[in-house]
Amino acid sequence: MRTACAVLVCFLAASRALALDVVVKDVRAAVSTVSATLEVRDLVPDRFKKVLDTGSVLHLRLQTELWESRPVWDRLVYPAIVRVFRLARAVSGREITIGDSAGTTRTYPAVPNPMLLSIELGQRSRIVATARYYVRVVATAGTLAERDADDVGDLVFGRESEATGLGSLGRTIFRTVIKVSDYLQSVSTETTGRRMSGGDLLKP
């Protein structure tokens, strides 16, 4: 019986190690903005590796929130920040391109593991030195009916090849608001960073 339990524990630990995971590495207030550094591990879980290998697209949705920890009811300090990343094989078929809803695209030899991200959360002026805060992150990786999303985006903003600067901005915002319910198949994880004082957060 003990042997079976030990095997089960090892299996669960191994499964967790191979699953999508997010760690809040740091939270800091710069000159005017509060930012969180996130480490996304196993960005492409085993079940989705074939999605990329067959030329399809994978999306990662990150919802990041800063909360004030209070005795009775915690308070959301800023509206939730949602970033969406689009992963696909490069034209060469070997490299990986990762497009960000913030407007940047980078190419990597392979899917970065872990992938470090800096997320701006809001204005430093909202932080109180005597309060306590923590970051909550919900990450979802999965597939979308991207053709439908592109068709709707074309109707609203014009085709990407013809889009003006304003149209490109609109398209970026459109793709940013992808919701978890839009995924055809997905895997999600949620994490909460350590609680820290506003005074520590405000340190240079």
Helices 165-176 and 146-157 pack at an angle, to 10 degrees, of 140
Highest mean pLDDT among 8-12, 48-52, 170-174: 48-52
CATH number assigned to the domain covering 19-143+187-201: 2.60.40
The domain limits of the chain are 19-143+187-201
Distance in angstroms (rounded) separating the CA atoms of residues 192 and 136 = 4
Per cent of the chain over pLDDT 90 is 38
Predicted confidence (pLDDT) per residue in 86-124, tens digit: 888 887 768 898 988 777 888 999 889 999 999 999 999
Residue with the two structure tokens 């909360």: 67
pTM of the model: 0.73
**For the segment 17-56, what is each residue's pLDDT rounded down to a tens digit?**
457 999 999 999 878 899 999 999 998 877 788 888 888 8
Q: Cβ atoms within 10 A of the Cβ of 96, count?
A: 19
